[in-house]
Structure 1
């Protein structure tokens, strides 16, 4: 069973029976803690246009743009993958900081996790240097102990390597008391591969067929509901 929490801020929600509170919470970054869809859509638009291809719509980007660029671009652009990545990052580096927008309640969620004594880290498919630049810009280092991004580990999500790197040296082994919280199938697959508890945030109430193959153990619509769950 996967409870979908209802209501909004302040709703009294408790963990399902038999599920222990988390010792560690690993968050995805893009569109889990921060809204970066406008930036991602613009980067894909500029990349497709520069290569003479028809750009994806915003809806197509949100549906298809999952996984790290080093995993996704070779299948999208073939021998021009390197050129495409360069174009993508030219746009990205120009706009990503100025357009960075925390999702509602994200800062309160992180502060609450820390107040509970949880180890908090970020596991993202955003290139690690860019991820840490955004985290520093928001001043969230006071809550987040480690940020692991694409190219930091040998493999990116959905492989479990970034989770293992995020937990390395903490004395915390991946199990059901380690939550992997994210908004995409890659996050769920990563949690399963590492042996952590998969938590889905956002998305439609009805799980897609792809998500049902790696179903979340817990769901929440937004950061406020995650706070209520904890």
Structure 2
């Protein structure tokens, strides 16, 4: 019997947003490119952005840009608001996965490091409110992921305790660390084939290559 077969069916699934349910890497890469170049800095390559652009901007930008963090954030969001909705694309199988969760009677929420208002705008743009009960983003809580605060906010008032029947699903070390901190089941979707030290310090309990495979696990 596999781990997935032994694992209890979840009562709740909390999904990361960017590159877990939707493909936003092209947008993120362009936002970082414009930010670095406007500030007169050598931009990261697309691969560097994928490897390093994790965490909320309010946590990451001060270490990247120091006293110019506020200026950098302004530039980032000027590009973001210009392009994010027109480029927003669901990942293959994401809508079927969310429908499957609903069929199973699971509570579904999103826990993201995208600013909450922007997250909810994208959710509405896709019309996914029919599947997703709550969306908690950056700045909605005192602390963002990997702190457990957003998970606690997503479950608040549901009567569901953060335990192993709550799956925190994401593609980055921050998602797994957040799950461990809250006492939920960490589930990695996508991510590198060979897990780096960052992933192994807070390892996943379940893995799926994509949304289709996660739906099959359910």
Structure-2-length-normalised TM-score: 0.98
Contact 2:170 2:188 in 1 (8 A): yes
Q: 1:53-95, CA deviations, whole angstroms, 9 ceiling, x for partnerless residues?
A: 0000000000000000000000000000000000000000000
Residues 1:128 and 2:121 are matched in the alignment: no
Partner in structure 1 of residue 134 of structure 2? 146
Contact 1:14 1:228 in 2 (8 A): no
Aligned length: 218
Match of 1:74 among 33, 37, 62: 62
Distance 1:15 1:229 in 2: 10
Distance 2:206 2:188 in 1: 6
Task: Please list every run of 5 or more consecutive structure 1 residues that lacks an aligned counterpart in the other structure.
Answer: 1-12
> Offset of 1:16 from its aligned partner?
3.1
> Offset of 1:207 from its aligned partner?
1.0
Partner in structure 2 of residue 98 of structure 1? 86
Partner in structure 1 of residue 188 of structure 2? 200
Residues 1:229 and 2:200 are matched in the alignment: no
> Offset of 1:150 from its aligned partner?
0.2
Task: Please list every run of 5 or more consecutive structure 2 residues that lacks an aligned counterpart in the other structure.
Answer: none
Contact 1:14 1:229 in 2 (8 A): no
Partner in structure 2 of residue 10 of structure 1? none
Match of 1:179 among 147, 167, 170: 167
Distance 1:79 1:59 in 2: 26
Contact 2:4 2:217 in 1 (8 A): no
Between structures 1 and 2, the one with greater helix share:
2
> Offset of 1:18 from its aligned partner?
3.6
Comparing both chains, which one has the higher relative contact order based on Cα–Cα distances under 8 Å and sequence gaps of 6 or more?
Answer: 1
Residues 1:111 and 2:60 are matched in the alignment: no
CA RMSD of aligned residues (A): 1.1
Distance 1:168 1:15 in 2: 29
Partner in structure 1 of residue 199 of structure 2? 211
Q: Which of 33-42 and 14-23 deviates more? A: 14-23
Distance 1:16 1:45 in 2: 40
Residues 1:24 and 2:28 are matched in the alignment: no
> Offset of 1:203 from its aligned partner?
1.7
Q: 1:27-66, CA deviations, whole angstroms, 9 ceiling, x for partnerless residues?
A: 0000000000000000000000000000000000000000
User: What aligned pairs does 1:28-107 form with structure 2 within 5 A after superposition?
Assistant: 28-107=16-95
> Offset of 1:210 from its aligned partner?
1.4
Structure-1-length-normalised TM-score: 0.93
